[in-house]
Structure 1
Amino acid sequence: MNLDSTKKKQMSMRVVIYLFGMVLLALGITLNTQAGLGASAIVSVPYTISQGTGMNFANLTLIAYCVLVVAQFFIKGKNRRWIDALQVVVSIVFTRFMALFQYVIGYESGVFINDLVVLLLGILFTGIGAAMTVDMNLIPNPGDGIVSSLAERFNRELGFCKNCFDAFCVVCSLAIGLAFGNPLMGIGLGTVLSMLGVGRVIYFFNKAAKAHLQQFTMI
């Protein structure tokens, strides 16, 4: 096998792993919201609007992600890259997976122990999916992209910026919920557990599998 064929095969494997991670991430976020215990912070704003208006959650998430992509261009300033606009394409594909899972799963929350199991599965899939997409070093989803942009712009640690951005999303969700008459409309136990749990899942997944995945795809 010549060098070009090897590189093409490695890139193909990276794309496959990236897409599989995207599917897991979409499934995780969908399960997180269907548990009825509050959305994860990054999608809490569109989820709250969806709860208050009855509009489709996946479509609202697409709009929110497009706003995040535009924001990145302002935050990065002269360091902006037009390739970052491809995050819009990623967002379209990602939110269509979310819409599909919403339709197929159709879980009805109401029994706490069942809701908690669904939530924990959502956190697990979200963490693994996020780790797989980021580890392939392709196009980040807008949630990761905006955090990376903030870290680069203000020269702060990535985890710190992630915590700050999550807190900002939660505050916005509380304000939007309040406008609809219930500040906790999109925020709850699931939001807190997601903020704590997804990062831990990413950490342990990367510790166990990142080196193997990157060696397999020669990153």
Structure 2
Amino acid sequence: MTKEKSENMPKEKMSTRIVVWIIGMFVLALGTSFFAKSHMGVSALVSVPQSCSLISGWTLGVWVNIIYAIFVVLELFIYRKFSWQVIVQFPFTFIFGRIVDMWGIHIFGNLDPDNIWLKIIILVLALFCTAAGVTMMVHANIIVNPPDGILMALTTVIPRDYGTLKYWGDALMVVIAVIIGLVTGNLGKLIGPSIGWGTIIAVFTIGNMVKFFNKVIVSKVSPVKN
């Protein structure tokens, strides 16, 4: 290998990671929007923003901004120190929320299925896009997604591994969404669009899909893997 090639490799790998991370962010946001459009329940992490959106009238993207920003603040509180790795999650949160609304309002704004089979197709697309987006962003390793960041922070103060906290976190988000519905008297409005079969299916499938993508695709993509 020539000296010129060896000097260019790190830069090329970083540029590849950035591209993969950006694509992953757009794909993950698309999955988030598809979950909302399926009317069969969103993923656990989005259940609170979706519930707040349905009750308040503010867009899903706006509530993703708010909830994810709260996660970032909690991360800083848990670490009890200034960290650029955490701070950079703030601009990501804002951008991600805007992309969610771009997909859900400006591109698929007229998508409102009333056919059960179309709803199922959209739900499958939501699962696929969410798993694919998560896989790309995790392996690109540029900026941590706030829901993952808060769980990583909690592993430093709670004697449990990330996987265990992931299940607890998902369950807690659904419980909070239910409580929001009960307190506001809108639980009936949330069952289906926010909390439904799609939520349960997401809990048991997205993680396995991410593992599948890791094994079949990511392990063979050396520029991102190395």
CA distance in 1, matches of 2:142, 2:172: 26
Aligned residue number for residue 76 of structure 1: 79
Q: Deviations over 1:87-146 (max 9, x none)?
A: 111112211111110120121032212111101110111001001101112211101111
2:80 counterpart SS class: helix
TM-score scaled by length of structure 2: 0.90
Aligned-pair Cα RMSD in Å: 1.5
Residue in structure 2 matched with residue 67 of structure 1 by the alignment: 70
Q: Which amino acid aligns with 2:156?
A: E
Match runs of 1:145-164 below 5 Å: 145-164=149-168
In structure 2, the partner of 1:193 is: 201
For 2:129 and 2:183, the matched residues in 1 are separated by 32
Which of 80, 93, 96 lines up with 1:94 in the alignment? 96
- Assess if the C-alpha contact under 8 Å between 1:28 and 1:125 holds in 2: yes
d(CA) in 2 for partners of 1:167, 1:95: 22
1:100 is aligned with what amino acid?
Answer: M
Q: What amino acid is aligned across from residue 94 of structure 1 in structure 2?
A: F
TM-score for both structures, normalised by structure 1:
0.93
Letter in 1 for 2:216: A
The farther-off stretch of 117-126 and 204-213 is 204-213
Runs of 5+ in structure 1 lacking a partner? none
In structure 2, C-alpha distance between the alignment counterparts of 1:198 and 1:48, rounded to whole Å: 21
- The runs of at least 4 aligned residues of structure 1 exceeding 4 Å deviation read none
Q: 2:57 aligns with which of 51, 54, 59?
A: 54
Pair 48,13 (structure 1): closer, same or farther in 2 beyond 3 Å? same
Letter in 1 for 2:206: V
Percent identity between the two aligned chains: 31
Aligned counterpart, 2:38: 35
Whether 1:170 aligns to 2:170 is: no
